[in-house]
Amino acid sequence: MAMRELVVDELGSGERLDVWLAREVEGLSRTAAQRLVGSGAVLLNGAACESKSCRLEVGDRVLVALDEREVRDADSVIAPSAIPLDVRYEEGGVVVISKQAGLVCHPSPGHEDDTLANALVARYGSVHLGRLQGEERPGIVHRLDRDTTGLMLCARTDEAQGALQDLIRLRELDRRYAVLVQGYVAPETGLIDVGIARSRRDRQRMVASDGGRAREAITTFTTLERFDAGVRDDGYSLLECHLYTGRTHQIRVHMAHINHPVVGDPVYGQGDARKNLSLTRQFLHSWRLSFENPETGERLSFVDALPEDLSQALRSIEDRSLGRTQRGARLVPALLGDAEALEEVVVLGMGDKER
């Protein structure tokens, strides 16, 4: 055990104790700093300080008892990996990216060093990412399934990470997904308010349930375009789904629950390659994101046209279209990459939050 005394300078004024310690003590992770504070191993101006979030002032003297096992390379938990990132916005602690198919958000069995978290560490450095989700999820605010593409938020500081998670919790983050489902969806709009729980039979699957184990899950949808049935399928419907909660596989589970599984879904969908338009992943794309930047108060709006594989699948059935709805006439051209239509949708997201 070694004792180290540190003095807070102007750069540390107003900073949280755990953040400051992790920066000042080389190799000390944010989590390790929090453990030290919680265990009473940190003295602030001669008195034990047990609040990791206390704010420092210039001239404060911090005495910390360091165990060598606590001091390590902060990047060692998550190794940096040079995975390309499509960054759409980067301001202060807030980052918006467009995630590619096949990219897992954080390490899990079988994915130790090829995840979004590894890519974020490579781009920003481990100590410059929010850690509120834990050491193995640096910068992660919310998740997209491995083969779901599109817009998502990341955070470079704990403060930004916490504020962005609050937006989700308070339902102030407007997330819209483009989804192609099996069958003819008759309603123009719909609400699915059914809880989601993990399957008892298969831990990799989720199930729609109103049982005690289920967590609240709310999805609304708007029908954009319908497609006639073919010889070997029941037709298709293109929807825009709006998440009010963020449960695992939520849209995929809810769509299967109303008997309109997502095209290409390998878990909850139909296995027939013809019905799935030869897609090898679910037709699910996070295409619109609107929110107020918690650091600046600026209203932000982003759109992301369909990637090539989903765009091709949609174009392959365009001759079977039964027509677009009023909303579809406005949004589908943007989904297919029309520049003018995309700009209009950005402006739409800059207005009051849609319902």
Read off the pLDDT of residues 230-289 as tens digits, 9 standing for 90 and up: 988 999 999 999 999 889 999 999 999 999 999 999 999 988 888 999 999 999 999 999
Amino acid at 304: D
Instruction: For the chain, list residues with pLDDT below 50.
Output: 72-76, 355
Q: Do 133 and 196 have their domain in common? A: no
Q: Do 150 and 231 have their domain in common? A: no
- Of 15, 43, 72, the residue that ends a domain is 72
Given 18, 60, 145, 174, the catalytic residue: 145
Q: Tell me the residue range of the domain where 89 lies.
A: 75-170
- Do the beta carbons of residue 232 and residue 275 sit within 8 Å? yes
- Do the beta carbons of residue 165 and residue 134 sit within 8 Å? no
Q: How far apart are the first and last CA of the chain?
A: 57
Q: In the chain, how many domains are there?
A: 3
State the pTM of this model: 0.78
Q: Do 67 and 82 have their domain in common? A: no
Q: Do 67 and 120 have their domain in common? A: no
Q: Do 46 and 194 have their domain in common? A: no
Is 234 considered catalytic here? no
Query: What is the reported pLDDT for 31?
Result: 74
- C-alpha 9/C-alpha 23 separation (Å) is 13
CATH at residue 17: 3.10.290.10
Q: Do 12 and 107 have their domain in common? A: no
